[in-house]
Structure formats: C-alpha cells, structure tokens
C-alpha cells in the first residue's frame, strides 16, 4: 500500500519498497499517474473507475482495477480492450464492495468475458486492529464461504498479517506496518520507525512559578522552569491537540510539551538537561518516542499523523 503519498513518506523516497513489491496499491488515478512516473511495476487502483474516460486512463497507465460496484461492471464489460481486475466483496464493513448476492450474480459474466482477467478476489476487515473482535472471524468465514482457491484471494491488511494467520491468502496488503508503525494500540510488534520528524530548538528561556506558556494560558509553571521553543507546529503537521505532557525527545531525554501547540512552534519543559540553540528535537520516529505515542496523547491515530506532515517540511532520505 503506497496510497496517500506512501502514507506521508513520499513516493520518491521509498525506492526499496517499490522495487520489491509484487504490486503497488493506490487509492485514485492521480496517485497512479504520479507512481507510474517512478516504476513499471503493476499498480492496483483501489477506488476503481467511474467513467469510460477514467477506464481508458487506467488502461493506459497499466493499472489493475478494483471493481466494487455494479456500475463499474457495466463499464468494464463495455470495454473493447483487455484489462485486469480485482473483485471486492463487502463482508461486513459496509464501505466499498459488492454484496454477496451481487458478487454471485456478476461473477459468471465477468469470467465469461474473454477481455477480462480476474487477478484476485478481495475484501477488507473492519476491526482487525482489535485482535479479539468477533467481526474478524465473522468476516473471514463469510469471505471463505463466498470464494474458493480457484481465484487468488486477498483479505489481510497490516493488522491481520500480524495477528490473523488464517487470513493470509495469495495476496496480503501491508500498509502502515511497511512504515514501521503498529496497527494496534500497543507497540509490541518489533516494527522499526521509517519516518523521523525533527525540528530545531529556536530559543531557550527560564520562567518563574506562576507564569504561563502559550495561547489561552492553559499551562502555568509550578516552579522555576527552563523551556525550549521548538520550530514546529500544526502548520507542519504536528497535532494541535497534543496534550500538555506529550513527550518530545531532546538529547536522548524525554521532555514534556507545555502550553498549546501553535502554528509554527511548540514549547517544551527541558528540566535540567543541557540543550543548545540549533539542536534538533525529535517529535516522533525513534524507539524511545514512537508516532503511536504522540497519536495517543493527541486523541488520534498514527495514520493521520504520518499522512498529515505538511509540504513545508523538508523530507530527506537517511543514508
């Protein structure tokens, strides 16, 4: 899965992943256009197509197309060019996917069309990030009832790959795990972070007990406190709703965010550690400070943080 600019990691910076994938999945045609400039590998178009013009562009880009709605079947059946499709079944998530009835109704016609190659039949888990949720087994059982090994099959996302071995059919669809983040609330996966977000220390200052920090004066020093002002904020993708106490890593020490996140800056209580102006603070992407931790302190998920880093942040590939 390399949709959303490789989960915010930038397609042009993930060459090893691209070079070693059997097939690369994107959400929409605009992403397929960008990816096709970087590779000749097969591309899977997850949202499928909605017009004959989109179908033609998908064929021109050599995309395999997910079919999840009867209207799409009508379009591809009217095509005079060969194309490869994945059929998506709705097994209970009720987002995209053919109903069981529609799948069984249309499958024979798709198989009989000599221009159409059915590469895979797929579905998607609703609750795989909760290992014990009963829907996981219910969806898997429904998928297995509807399909057979006559076709390639795909059910497992990152969470299922790590926790539900019965869902590992011919194709798996790793997403967030490729980028070293856990699909679960715990971090006990052994995955190593790919993205490290850092920013410079702009200023150091000391305030007295009773003095405030930031907009809204929602943090008040209880004692004499040394602060570091860091050059990153919600304009860069650092979460505005990060709470007081959210950890920031400076000189290998975990320090606490104080005051509201601003557009361009955050403020950190550095205690008694030695910090120099210009040094880099790590916001996430270290074994001591994972993105999942920041997400938990911000009432969000790591997916949102990774894909939300803004265009004004400079991305570089580490050596």
Confidence of residue 318 (pLDDT cuts 50, 70, 90): confident
Q: Which token pair is 97? A: 């996917």
- Please give the pLDDT value at position 189: 82
Q: Is residue 192 in a domain?
A: no
Query: pLDDT per residue over 100-113, tens digit each?
Result: 999 999 999 999 99
Query: pLDDT per residue over 264-291, tens digit each?
Result: 999 999 999 999 999 999 999 999 999 9
Distance CA 50, CA 74 (A): 10
Q: Which token pair is 36? A: 């096709």
- Please give the pLDDT value at position 31: 98
Q: Is residue 13 in a domain?
A: yes
Q: Is residue 314 in a domain?
A: no
Distance CA 53, CA 44 (A): 17
Secondary-structure percent of the chain, ordered helix, strand, coil, rounded to 5:
30, 20, 50
- Please give the pLDDT value at position 159: 97
pLDDT of 256 > 80? The answer is yes
Q: Is residue 213 in a domain?
A: yes
Active site annotation includes 111: no
The answer on 148 and 265 residing in a single domain is no
- Please give the pLDDT value at position 149: 87
Distance CA 246, CA 295 (A): 10
Domain end: 153, 179, 205, which one? 179
Instruction: Name the phi and psi angles at 18, rounded to 5.
Output: -60, -45
Distance CA 111, CA 40 (A): 27
**Beta-carbon-side half-sphere exposure of residue 134 (alpha carbons within 13 Å):** 0
- Please give the pLDDT value at position 135: 97
Instruction: Point out the least confidently predicted range of 43-52, 156-165, 178-187.
Output: 178-187
The answer on 223 and 161 residing in a single domain is no
Q: Is residue 123 in a domain?
A: yes
Residues 6 or more apart whose CB falls under 8 angstroms from that of 311 comprise: none
The answer on 222 and 138 residing in a single domain is no
Residue length of the chain: 319
Query: What's the CA angle centered on 286, arms 191 and 184, to 5 degrees?
Result: 40
The answer on 164 and 210 residing in a single domain is no
The answer on 210 and 110 residing in a single domain is no
The answer on 173 and 31 residing in a single domain is yes
The answer on 103 and 252 residing in a single domain is no
Active site annotation includes 50: no
Is 44:25 a contact under the CB 8 Å cutoff?
yes
Radius of gyration of the chain (CA): 24
Q: Is residue 316 in a domain?
A: no
Confidence of residue 186 (pLDDT cuts 50, 70, 90): confident
The answer on 19 and 122 residing in a single domain is yes
Q: Is residue 221 in a domain?
A: yes
Task: Please state whether 10 falls in left (phi above 0), alpha (psi between -120 and 50) or beta.
Answer: left
Domain end: 145, 179, 213, which one? 179
Confidence of residue 243 (pLDDT cuts 50, 70, 90): very high
Q: Is residue 185 in a domain?
A: no
Instruction: Give the CATH number of the domain where residue 70 resides.
Output: 3.20.20.10
Instruction: Give the CATH number of the domain where residue 271 resides.
Output: 2.40.37.10
Name which of 208, 242, 210 is nearest 226 in CA terms: 208
248 exposure class (CB count in 10 Å sphere: 0-12, 13-18, 19+): buried
- The conformation of residue 45, written as its DSSP 8-state character, comes to E
Name which of 196, 191, 197, 87 is nearest 146 in CA terms: 87
Confidence of residue 134 (pLDDT cuts 50, 70, 90): very high
The answer on 235 and 151 residing in a single domain is no
- Candidate list 205, 215, 224, 288, residue with the active-site label: 215
Name which of 271, 303, 297 is nearest 283 in CA terms: 297
- Please give the pLDDT value at position 91: 98
Domains of the chain: total: 2
- Please give the pLDDT value at position 247: 98
The answer on 168 and 71 residing in a single domain is yes
The answer on 115 and 201 residing in a single domain is no
- Candidate list 3, 7, 88, 103, residue with the active-site label: 3
Domain end: 179, 213, 232, which one? 179
Query: pLDDT per residue over 19-78, tens digit each?
Result: 999 999 999 999 999 999 999 999 999 999 999 999 999 999 999 999 999 999 999 998
Instruction: Name the phi and psi angles at 8, rounded to 5.
Output: 85, 5
Distance CA 283, CA 264 (A): 14
Q: What is the chain's mean pLDDT, rounded?
A: 96
Is 219:206 a contact under the CB 8 Å cutoff?
no
- Quote the domain boundaries for residue 92: 3-179
The answer on 159 and 27 residing in a single domain is yes
Confidence of residue 293 (pLDDT cuts 50, 70, 90): very high
């Amino acid at each position: 899965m390399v949709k959303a600019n490789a989960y915010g990691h930038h397609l042009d910076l993930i060459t090893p992943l691209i070079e070693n994938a059997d097939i690369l999945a994107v959400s929409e045609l605009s992403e397929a256009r960008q990816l096709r400039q970087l590779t000749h590998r097969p591309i899977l178009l997850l949202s499928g197509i909605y017009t004959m013009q989109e179908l033609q562009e998908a064929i021109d880009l050599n995309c395999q197309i997910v079919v999840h709605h009867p209207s799409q079947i009508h379009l591809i059946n009217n095509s005079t060019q060969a194309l490869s499709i994945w059929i998506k079944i709705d097994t209970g998530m009720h987002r995209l996917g053919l109903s069981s009835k529609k799948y069984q109704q249309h499958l024979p016609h798709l198989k009989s069309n000599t221009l159409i190659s059915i590469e895979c039949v797929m579905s998607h888990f609703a609750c795989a990030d909760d290992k014990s949720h009963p829907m996981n087994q219910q969806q898997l059982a429904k998928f297995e009832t509807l399909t057979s090994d006559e076709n390639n099959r795909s059910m497992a996302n990152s969470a299922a790959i790590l926790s539900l071995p019965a869902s590992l059919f011919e194709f798996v669809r790793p997403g967030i795990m490729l980028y070293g983040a856990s699909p679960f609330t715990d971090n006990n996966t052994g995955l190593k972070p790919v993205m490290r977000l850092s920013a410079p220390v702009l200023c150091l200052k000391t305030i007295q007990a009773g003095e405030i920090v930031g907009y809204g004066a929602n943090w008040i020093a209880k004692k004499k406190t040394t602060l570091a002002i860091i050059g990153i904020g919600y304009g860069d993708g650092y979460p505005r709703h990060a709470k007081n106490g959210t950890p920031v890593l400076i000189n290998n020490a975990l320090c606490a965010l104080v005051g509201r996140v601003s557009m361009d800056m955050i403020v950190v209580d550095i205690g008694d550690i030695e910090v120099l102006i210009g040094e880099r603070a790590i916001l996430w992407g270290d074994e001591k400070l994972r993105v999942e931790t920041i997400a938990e302190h911000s009432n969000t998920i790591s997916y949102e943080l990774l894909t939300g880093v803004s265009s004004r942040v400079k991305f570089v590939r580490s050596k």
